[in-house]
Amino acid sequence: MLSIGKMSAATGVKVPTIRYYEDIGLLAEAERSTGNQRLYDLAAQERLAFIRHARELGFPLDDIRELLSLSDRPDMSCAAADVIATRQLGAVRDRIVRLQALQQELERMLKQCAQGTISDCKVIEVLSDHAQCLHAHHGEDSHSGLRAKKSNMRRASASIISDLQ
C-alpha cells in the first residue's frame, strides 16, 4: 500500500491531481490508514499510470473515463476504444495544422522585421492588427468551429459506443 506521496512519486502525478482524480471519480476513493492517510494499492497505481499516459497523449478527461470503463470490461469489442482513439488522432492532426499556421505566421513576422525601432517593428504591427495575419489561426471563429466539430464527433462516437454495448 502506498501513501499519496509515494503514489505521486511512483507515477509522476502531483498530489493535488491525484485528489482531483478521486473527486471526479477517475480513481476510486482510497482506503484510509488508522491515521486517516490515503492508501493506494497496485491496481490504483496502475490506473493512475493509465490516466497519466492518456493525458500525455492529450485525451480529455471524459474520453479517459470512457476508456477506463472499457478497460474494466476486457471481453468487450475494442471498437469503442478505436473510435475514441481515432477521434483523438483527428484532434491532434487539427492541432498540428493550427500550430503549423502559427509557426508560418511567426516566421513571416520575424522575417519582415527590420530589426529597427519599435515604431517600425513588424511584430508589434501584426499583433496590433489581426487583419495583417495570413491565417485565421487564433480568432474566435477558428476555436468555435473546432468546438462544434469536436462536439459532433463526440455525439457520433457516443452513439457508436452505445450501439456496441
At 157, phi and psi to the nearest 5?
-70, -35
Q: Are residues 47 and 88 in the same domain?
A: no
Q: Are residues 87 and 124 in the same domain?
A: yes
Q: Which amino acid is at 72?
A: D
pTM (two decimals)? 0.70
Q: Are residues 160 and 109 in the same domain?
A: yes
Q: Specify the pLDDT at position 139.
A: 47
Domain count, the chain: 2
Range of the domain at 129: 79-164
For residue 32, give the 3-state DSSP assignment.
Answer: strand
Q: Are residues 85 and 144 in the same domain?
A: yes
Q: Are residues 52 and 85 in the same domain?
A: no
- Predicted confidence pLDDT, tens digits, the chain (165 residues): 999 999 999 999 999 999 999 999 999 999 998 898 999 999 999 999 999 999 999 999 999 999 999 998 989 889 999 999 999 999 999 999 999 998 988 888 888 776 777 777 777 877 787 777 776 655 444 444 555 555 555 555 555 555 555
Is residue 149 assigned to a domain? yes
Q: Are residues 83 and 114 in the same domain?
A: yes
Q: Specify the pLDDT at position 141.
A: 43
Q: Are residues 88 and 151 in the same domain?
A: yes
Q: Specify the pLDDT at position 120.
A: 74
Q: Are residues 112 and 145 in the same domain?
A: yes
113 CB-near residues (< 8 Å, 6+ apart): 121, 122, 123
- The CATH number linked to 9 is 1.10.1660.10
157 CB-near residues (< 8 Å, 6+ apart): 80, 83, 84, 87
Q: Specify the pLDDT at position 147.
A: 56
Classify residue 59 as left (phi > 0), alpha (psi -120 to 50) or beta.
beta
Q: Are residues 98 and 151 in the same domain?
A: yes
Is residue 99 assigned to a domain? yes
Neighbour-count burial of 150, counting CB atoms closer than 10 A to its CB (0-12 exposed, 13-18 middle, 19+ buried) = middle
Q: Are residues 99 and 152 in the same domain?
A: yes
